[in-house]
Amino acid sequence: MALWKGMKKDPDKITSMSSLSPKRNQQVHKPPAEGTVEMLFTTLGWFIFASARQGDMTTGPAFQELERQYSPNGEKLDVYMPTNGPSQGRGPSEEKGGLCNPISFPLSRASSVPISPIAPPLDGPVHAYSAIQYGFPIVIYIHGGYWQFLSKEESGFMAVPLVQRGVAVAAVGYDIAPKGNMDLIVSQVRSSIVSIVQKYSHTSGVYLCGHSAGAHLAAMVLCTDWSQYSITPQIKGAFLVSGIYDLLPILSTYVNEPLKMTEDVALRNSPGQLVPQLKRSSSACHIVVAVAQNDSPEFRCQSENFFKDLESMGLTVTFADVPDTDHFNVIERFVDEDYQLTQLLLKIMEKN
């Protein structure tokens, strides 16, 4: 784990994703090696635009429409990626609230990423961003990318406004597919949550935030039977942003090609199927199910149905339909303190 503290002035580097991503009618090439900024742009574009896949899965208009619904369109988006720091969106190195070098700590391994007690470089399954103080709340962010792209290194963006308010922000990593399968990924994220809570037991509260596939993983954390672990994290809040809570619809889509989920795997890893366990494990958690106004109907349906399932169980749950946002900037705007979801997160923290 790495903790960030202090201030550092560093300008943003802004790049347009549309100039770097392949279009839908172009051949999609295998992404370069993980760990490069170029990899992020290429794989993110591949995940958004890929359609010329090989195989016999494409069977007709209904299937093609399902794939389109689960392929967020990023052609009009600008992705802000500082080349010198971990970020999705404007990162913690920017001028307003930038952070300097990390302090690293050993952390029990939850993924195959090497762990080192010294910094730099950044390593281990978790990065954390904050000044170190007793009794601070901690937000644990779980990245998206359809369980097969991105990493914790691109997940420092929401540290900017939160660190200024005395909140720690941890970014959790996991072995993305095809190296990691769904069962392994869920297990790794749960283990990372346990490690964070054990390391920082003096925090005033733990809050989860996940986007897209990360929202699915955050929801799976809420569904955990903690009797199988050495500790029961007291998770006070969870922000599930544009998530997928029923995995069955994506089994026949390109999303499942590297994951290779069977129906049984999809069912046991679908939070929508685990709401009774979620109530037993996370009844004290204030859950926010957020969705972008311009998300696809399938993504919106996933969020709406999951919200209704939680509400029907008597859980404390809020539905946030975020105006003037799409599947990507609905999470990127967490970099701004006055953003609707940032303000809601801070408000929930104040109540707790």
Active-site residues, by number, are 212, 295, 327
How far is residue 115's CA from residue 130's CA, in Å, rounded to a whole number? 20
Residue 44 is encoded by which pair of tokens? 């993110």
Element (H or E) spanning 217, and its range?
Answer: helix 213-222
The CA radius of gyration of the chain, in Å to the nearest whole number, is: 19
Region of residue 216 (left: phi > 0; alpha: psi -120 to 50; beta: else) = alpha
What counts of helices (H) and strands (E) characterise the chain? Answer: 10, 11
Residue listed under structure tokens 């202090």: 6
Residues 6+ apart with CB under 8 A from 274: 220, 223
Give me the residues paired with residue 238 across strands: 208, 287
